[in-house]
Structure 1
């Protein structure tokens, strides 16, 4: 990869940190708020709503997952720009990135079961399907990410040789097919959850991340405008506010079929704009970057921390405030710092030793970018 094509790492880590914090605050408000009221959280009936856009950013903080998925497409595409991807080495690197910490948490989670784990339990662990709460509430996203990794080298070749139009056409085709699947469902009231939470919905966000990378690589000069990042963030918050007002996450409205694309599009704009403008510097920037570096550990461990607080911190959870405010403060002042501290430990003890085993996965002759979508593919040097 040419030095001029490198991702400016600090802004990327800033965005990773923001995504991780959003997810922690979201789960904390939902779970601890219900606990303060002395009940279990029921997503369909107990979802949090507000007319305050800042509050809805937290209440719909699951959008941090969408930001992570957009970032995945963005980072891989910039990193592989102009070079063919070595498929085996790429997948090996992804396994070294994801599996070590995940396996530790999943195996420990299985140890909480009274029954001795079976071979089927092992298969569920290897495919990110085990165990349930409190350890596995976020594992479903890892399954989707692994599916992204399987198809990225092909998608990257399409983008390089055929241009962004190839991914735009693929995005349109997936959106149309997703709508047809929903319309042809035999259920009297078809559900949209699987079409939103699985690969069928989330592939939009990965593709949009790749397109944001193409935009950044080819038009970064046009993106360098100090007003563009706040404008893109305002658009994202406004969209989330609208989603919250129509109870989007817990609804089965057909409009939800387009939500994955809309959500991915605004975060793709935020990513491209923020990275192109490189964000703030100084101590705050370095601290945010360090947090972004351990964001995977934050994502995998925060549910455990929140569960412990729910179970053992019941006596000191605030009662004088509205439950959602009490939950927000406990999450911000207790759960988040504890999770971050734990994450620095798990990152350096479990993640980092395996990350150092990764090897470059791009190489060989540079791929010629083809301006015409129907031109035959070629490689420089053949």
Structure 2
């Protein structure tokens, strides 16, 4: 395969995964928010959270797993892109800020505008740190804070992987797991909560590290990972793990098993990412191109969908439009047929109007390879100008 064809396949497959994760986030939040609105209950009432023994329904009802997929992808993409080449730390961090901050600031400032009082200095400071109080569109802002913390660590972690090999990251994973257990055991609460760990870098660093390890395997064993049966098997493994997690009450549970769930969740998605990206040649059909275009605007989808869902939840006529369906099915139908198309349409606008102008300001952050090792990496994966506008 020519280098340009290899680049196209790599980018398309990465964007397919981004698109799938973005769609899953919209459906998950749509089912939760619209479902609660239809049933007239509080979203925080764990006892009434939607539950199912159907594996297909589990994927949507535990659709927060898309966050794990995004985080695994972050570790994977940056590790592939930086393979064999030094990272210029300042440029790398600047590029990440240009990627994350512009659209986030637009959404966060618009959220502040929904409040009656003028924003204080504390509110503006909270915007800069992704902790805006009472933010109506901020349901996913916490993930951006976690991502930025990983960005600050990635050049060091990548050097560790390059100089010491995957064993260094595996040992780091083990140490983090042990420290996380000690934090949980030292809690003074009779029933220690696991949410703080699950929603912060302390509970999510596993997923970035596993994405980096998946990239290491992909770069060295691409040919072995191209067997056609591997992606379906890896997806079945991920769905099976998610189904088991859901039967234990999933995200709302404070079971000690959640201490290891982040690692398990990251591991199954890391396997899937590696085998899917390395899989059979992409033929570039209409479905593949459409999925890739959606993946290109996935960040906009991720940040704007709460705005759309907030509006839909306030429309009593729309919420009551499907009275013959069970609440969970009505919420799913509204999410898939209304919220998702509106969000995607809005996202193409915000991508080209807000994101793209700042993405074009980024500069290459990779130095030259002293050994030529980077030549084994597809140019589109290296962060060269215009090559990975999506990362």
Q: TM-score, normalised by structure 1?
A: 0.93
Q: State the shift of 1:368 in Å.
A: 8.8
Residue 6 and residue 169 in structure 1: after superposition, are their counterparts in 2 closer, same or farther (change >3 A)? farther
| Residue among 328, 351, 360 paired with 1:324 | 328
Q: State the shift of 1:46 in Å.
A: 2.5
1:342 is matched with 346
Q: State the shift of 1:42 in Å.
A: 2.4
Q: Do the aligned residues in 2 keep the contact of 1:11 with 1:278 (CA within 8 Å)? A: no
- Rounded to whole Å, the distance in 2 between the matches of 1:112 and 1:344 is 24
| Residue among 12, 15, 21 paired with 2:23 | 21
Q: State the shift of 1:366 in Å.
A: 3.2
- Give the stretch that moved more between structures: 168-177 or 132-141: 132-141
2:244 is matched with 242
Q: State the shift of 1:134 in Å.
A: 2.2
Determine whether 1:45 maps to 2:47: yes
1:307 is matched with 310
Match runs of 1:357-376 below 5 Å: 357-366=361-370
- Give the stretch that moved more between structures: 39-48 or 232-241: 39-48
Number of aligned residue pairs: 369
Residue 11 and residue 135 in structure 1: after superposition, are their counterparts in 2 closer, same or farther (change >3 A)? same
1:188 is matched with 190
Match runs of 1:64-83 below 5 Å: 64-83=66-85
CA-to-partner distance for each residue in 1:112-152, whole Å, 9 max, x for gaps? 11222121111111111114342111100000000000000
1:374 is matched with none
Q: State the shift of 1:3 in Å.
A: 10
- Rounded to whole Å, the distance in 2 between the matches of 1:84 and 1:264 is 26
- Give the stretch that moved more between structures: 154-163 or 184-193: 184-193
Residue 59 and residue 23 in structure 1: after superposition, are their counterparts in 2 closer, same or farther (change >3 A)? same
2:93 is matched with 91
2:109 is matched with 107
- Rounded to whole Å, the distance in 2 between the matches of 1:140 and 1:74 is 21
Determine whether 1:215 maps to 2:228: no
2:203 is matched with 201
Identify unmatched segments of 5+ residues in structure 2. 374-391
Identify unmatched segments of 5+ residues in structure 1. 370-382
Residue 240 and residue 149 in structure 1: after superposition, are their counterparts in 2 closer, same or farther (change >3 A)? same
Q: State the shift of 1:43 in Å.
A: 4.5
- Rounded to whole Å, the distance in 2 between the matches of 1:9 and 1:195 is 32
Q: State the shift of 1:39 in Å.
A: 3.2
Q: State the shift of 1:197 in Å.
A: 1.1
- Give the stretch that moved more between structures: 199-208 or 29-38: 29-38
CA-to-partner distance for each residue in 1:44-71, whole Å, 9 max, x for gaps? 2222211110000000000000000000
Q: Do the aligned residues in 1 keep the contact of 2:73 with 2:211 (CA within 8 Å)? A: yes
Q: Do the aligned residues in 2 keep the contact of 1:305 with 1:335 (CA within 8 Å)? A: yes
- Rounded to whole Å, the distance in 2 between the matches of 1:278 and 1:359 is 32
Q: Aligned Cα RMSD in Å?
A: 1.9
Q: Do the aligned residues in 1 keep the contact of 2:33 with 2:43 (CA within 8 Å)? A: yes
2:254 is paired with a residue of what secondary structure? coil
| Residue among 295, 298, 303 paired with 2:301 | 298
Q: State the shift of 1:304 in Å.
A: 1.0
- Rounded to whole Å, the distance in 2 between the matches of 1:191 and 1:21 is 29
2:253 is paired with a residue of what secondary structure? coil
2:340 is paired with a residue of what secondary structure? helix
1:346 is paired with a residue of what secondary structure? helix
Q: TM-score, normalised by structure 2?
A: 0.91
1:8 is paired with a residue of what secondary structure? helix
- Rounded to whole Å, the distance in 2 between the matches of 1:3 and 1:210 is 24
Q: Do the aligned residues in 1 keep the contact of 2:130 with 2:142 (CA within 8 Å)? A: yes
